[in-house]
Amino acid sequence: MLAVNKIDLVDFSQERFEAIRRDYEAFAASLGFRSIVAIPLSARFGDNVIAQSENMAWYDGPSLLGHLETVNVDDDLAGKPFRFPVQFVSRPHLNFRGFQGQVASGRVAVGDTVAVAKSGVTTRIKRIVTMAPDGTDLDLEEARDGQSVTFVLADEVDCSRGDMLVDPQAAPVIADRFDARLVWFAERALVAGRQYILRTETDQTAAAVAVLQNRIDISQLEEVKADTLALNDVGTVTIAAQRPIAFDPYRANRATGAFILIDRISNQTVAAGMITAQANGSAGQHRLFDVTQKDRAAIKHQKPAILWFTGLSGAGKSTIANTLERRLHGLGLHTYVLDGANTRQGLNRGLGFDAASRREEVQRIAHVAKLMADAGLVVMASFISPLREERQIARDIAGDNAFLEIFVDADLEDCMQRDPKGFYKLALEGELKHFTGVDEPYEAPDAADVHLRVKGRTPEELAAEIEAALKAKGLL
């Protein structure tokens, strides 16, 4: 809709109105609007606001409020593929399991086959239940877009809040990278690579703007190269999520193609976006292998876990991890320790100690640890990981795996005196830049899962404390 106000200032001129209408139609041609309804207005005198104006006999279209009350934003939701975001799983008793939410698009009837979007598992609609005016359950034969209903499925399938029931013949995209148009809301400028919370109609996960492709010059509708987006800027970006999500391009379905980004610290909504397509290089839908993590762990008679050791250089992280591994190995557990000594020779070769390198190191190690946990191992990752945000990234990447943040708490003076790798000496002499504790800060955990106070204690005592924590959490 195009509202052309203050038409009284040009004596209600049809010629001037038509010129403005033509300009805006040309301007909006590239935006994909199906149609534009242009309405000449004089808000000051009420012309064409509620009823048609007598001052513009040449105009025979709707009034502003008349159009807003009757406009159909999308008249084809029922004709789109079936999409049902699961908002709640209701289980009031053992004989009833219902999936509740609102049909986003399409229609479905009792007996129809549907699929769980992420797993692809199919089943049939057994019942469609809604609430009658008297508050009792009312069974329906069919549900369509806009209806809030409860679906009872014919089979016990793995489907939870955040997933979608969909048409198996027209499934949504499942991917962990996608291209999008983004409107930036925050005063703090967008930084590519910073972690945010991605929230869609159906799901929520950690994500980052992997690539800022261009900023859109609103005055000319041209894309220009940019390093960041400021308040109210619009840009084209590539989003990288920590795990695959289900979506449709926004042009195909606005309900499943829209998203917002939320700052993980302030909980402020910093951006809103429209998905345009799956990005190149996306992992896409994960293949479901026959042998699962549960199977791999069962044959080892253990529970997988990721133990993330954080603390200053020289605090004793790797020494304690090594001692703990020896103890767990003695109990018959399958384990592995990741630290700088065995990762900077290959996986992390070439990374420095600056903030970007630290962040990249944490993300690489967290992904490797997750794969090892999927293999059924107890993984110990020993890295300074100085920032809380970085450690939260590692926890997000770990996903459903048991994740324990272990804070190896040692005085900086003791660490500098110990200096087993000579890093502090190099940093103090100015030969090693961006080193934590010297010219970069260390943010101690607010609430670590295990807080080890090192001073006056042996590695065996500290490893025993971690072992006790693992037993208390049911991991041993």
Contacts of 131 (CB under 8 A, 6+ apart): 137, 138
Q: Which of 63, 105, 313, 385 is catalytic?
A: 385
**d(Cα 345, Cα 340) in Å, to the nearest integer?**
8
**d(Cα 329, Cα 346) in Å, to the nearest integer?**
26
DSSP 196-235: EEEEESS-EEEEEEEEEEEEEETTTTEEE--S---TT-EE
Phi, psi (rounded to 5 degrees) for 68: -65, -30
Contact 47, 8 (CB under 8 A): yes
What is the DSSP code (8-state) at residue 54?
T
CB neighbours of residue 462 within 10 Å: 21
Contact 386, 436 (CB under 8 A): yes
Q: Which amino acid is at 277?
A: A
Catalytic annotation on 385? yes
- For residue 244, give both structure tokens: 């695959």
Contact 125, 114 (CB under 8 A): yes
**Helix/strand/coil for 239:** strand
DSSP 337-348: EEEHHHHTTTTT
Residue with tokens 């929230």: 199
Contacts of 292 (CB under 8 A, 6+ apart): none
Spacing of C-alpha 62 from chain mean position: 42
CA atoms within 13 A on the CB side of 170: 12
Catalytic residues: 385
